[in-house]
């Protein structure tokens, strides 16, 4: 008996912002964004929050699973942009789905969070006796990016994805690899707001509370981490790269995938790519891609798939599983 993905769901906000829309208020162009990143459009939340988007993706995954809310034993929300710190985003999601009682918490490992969340959930399913877990990735990046910084704001979008994990007769998760190396230069940085108190003048406000990134450094890390992660999870599972039907990479930049494909000697069509439509949705990136691929009929039972993510920290994670 393995731990497998039973169903998926996703939610993308209605508002679609094109590269040309961004060029109306930024010194940028559709040509620059398309050739440097592969991004054409992104969805931006209007009136939605990380909690509401997460709840909608989760509700879809739950409905497709055929389970009732009281069969969910564990709820984890992966997010880097929580709309609340109290209660947790996962508690809001759980409440929206009327899941009466379940272990519930949020995690933040930046863009690697969803893979970490699945790994944590599967360990808890093995040790705590849980049968079904709801894992959500949801991010409202539009709230944490600096809309005047053309080198970061063009990269991100908002959205949520979800997956239900269950114990069944598939092999499910075959191997995983989680890592985080020291980010000596804060290549990806976003501080929480700190206000002065009656006891301290210390404050963190303004630009430091928005995402800043040394793009080329992060890209070098991503390419390196990508390659290492693929080698480790395939070796751990005793699987060859050619046996894998589809790879779901964190959708950060199409050039990272071109480089990874070249380095690994594989075709680009081995990667599921939706970055052109949804851009970088941080913790939601992988579950959105999984859900889009599943609804497009690109996944069939028994397929071997790989998830790979990298991001702030500098964190990375990969997982090999049977669909």
DSSP, residue by residue, 74-91: EEEEE-SS-S-SSS-HHH
Binding residue (CB under 6 A) for ligand UT7 from 4, 7, 28, 315: 28
Four-residue CA torsion sign, 37, 113, 224, 239:
negative
Q: Is 311 near ligand UT7 (CB under 6 A)?
A: yes
Segment contacting ligand UT7 (CB under 6 A): 75-83, 122-130, 150-158, 196-204?
Answer: 150-158
Q: Compare residues 82 and 311 and give the one whose CB is closer to ligand UT7.
A: 311
Binding residue (CB under 6 A) for ligand UT7 from 154, 174, 223, 308: 154
Q: Compare residues 151 and 175 and give the one whose CB is closer to ligand UT7.
A: 151
Q: Compare residues 32 and 131 and give the one whose CB is closer to ligand UT7.
A: 32
Nearest to 62 by CA among 71, 50, 49, 52: 71
Q: Is 236 near ligand UT7 (CB under 6 A)?
A: no
Q: Is 253 near ligand UT7 (CB under 6 A)?
A: yes
Distance CA 282, CA 109 (A): 10
Nearest to 310 by CA among 225, 220, 186: 225
DSSP, residue by residue, 13-58: -SEEEEHHHHTTTSS--HHHHHHHH---EEEE-SS--HHHHHHHHH
Give residues with Cβ within 8 angstroms of 92, minimum separation 6.
51, 54, 55, 84
Segment contacting ligand UT7 (CB under 6 A): 60-68, 99-107, 113-121, 148-156?
Answer: 148-156
Q: Compare residues 151 and 245 and give the one whose CB is closer to ligand UT7.
A: 151
Active site residues: 111, 250, 280
Four-residue CA torsion sign, 254, 33, 310, 319:
negative
For residues 275 and 39, the answer to whether their CB atoms sit within 8 Å is: yes
Please give the biggest Cα pair distance in the chain.
62
Binding residue (CB under 6 A) for ligand UT7 from 7, 37, 166, 281: 37
Q: Is 24 near ligand UT7 (CB under 6 A)?
A: no
Q: Compare residues 91 and 222 and give the one whose CB is closer to ligand UT7.
A: 222
Q: Is 222 near ligand UT7 (CB under 6 A)?
A: yes
Size of the site for ligand UT7 (CB under 6 A): 18
Q: Is 288 near ligand UT7 (CB under 6 A)?
A: no
| Cα dihedral 280→33→222→147 (10° resolution) | -60
Segment contacting ligand UT7 (CB under 6 A): 33-41, 56-64, 72-80, 175-183?
Answer: 33-41
Closest approach, Cβ 262 to ligand UT7, in A, equals 16
Backbone dihedral region for residue 108 (phi beyond 0: left; psi -120 to 50: alpha; all else: beta) = beta
Residue identified by tokens 């040309």 is: 20
Closest approach, Cβ 159 to ligand UT7, in A, equals 14
Q: Is 151 near ligand UT7 (CB under 6 A)?
A: yes
For residues 175 and 320, the answer to whether their CB atoms sit within 8 Å is: yes
Q: Is 36 near ligand UT7 (CB under 6 A)?
A: yes
Tokens of 207: 């630009």
Q: Compare residues 65 and 280 and give the one whose CB is closer to ligand UT7.
A: 280
Q: Is 219 near ligand UT7 (CB under 6 A)?
A: yes
Enumerate binding residues for ligand UT7 (CB under 6 A): 28, 32-33, 36-37, 111, 150-151, 154, 215-216, 218-219, 222, 252-253, 280, 311
């Amino acid at each position: 008996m393995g731990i497998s993905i039973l169903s998926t769901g996703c939610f993308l906000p209605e508002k679609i912002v094109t590269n040309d829309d961004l060029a109306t208020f930024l010194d940028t162009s559709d040509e620059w964004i398309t050739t440097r990143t592969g991004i054409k459009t992104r969805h931006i939340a209007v009136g939605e929050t990380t909690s509401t988007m997460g709840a909608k993706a989760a509700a879809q995954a739950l409905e497709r699973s055929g389970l009732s809310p009281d069969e969910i034993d564990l709820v984890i929300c992966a997010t880097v942009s929580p709309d609340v710190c109290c209660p947790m985003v996962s508690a809001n999601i759980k409440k929206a789905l009327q899941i009466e009682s379940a272990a519930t918490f949020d995690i933040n490992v930046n863009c690697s969070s969803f893979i970490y969340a699945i790994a944590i959930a599967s360990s808890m399913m093995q040790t705590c006796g849980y049968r079904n877990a709801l894992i959500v990735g949801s991010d409202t990046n539009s709230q944490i990016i600096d809309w005047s910084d053309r080198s970061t704001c063009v990269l991100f979008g908002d959205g949520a994805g979800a997956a239900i994990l269950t114990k069944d007769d598939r092999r499910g998760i075959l191997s995983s690899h989680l890592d985080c190396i020291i980010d000596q230069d804060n290549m990806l940085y976003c501080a929480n707001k700190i206000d002065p108190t009656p006891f301290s003048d210390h404050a963190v406000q303004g630009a430091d509370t928005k995402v800043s990134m040394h793009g080329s450094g992060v890209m070098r890390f991503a390419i390196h981490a990508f390659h290492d992660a693929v080698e480790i999870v395939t070796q751990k599972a005793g699987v060859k790269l050619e046996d894998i039907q589809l790879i779901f990479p964190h959708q950060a930049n199409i050039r990272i995938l071109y480089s990874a494909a070249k380095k690994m000697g594989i075709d680009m069509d081995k990667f599921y790519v939706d970055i052109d439509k949804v851009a970088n949705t941080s913790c939601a990136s992988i579950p959105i891609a999984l859900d889009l691929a599943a609804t497009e009929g690109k996944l069939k039972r028994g397929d071997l798939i790989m998830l790979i993510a990298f991001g702030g920290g500098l964190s990375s994670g990969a997982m090999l599983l049977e669909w």
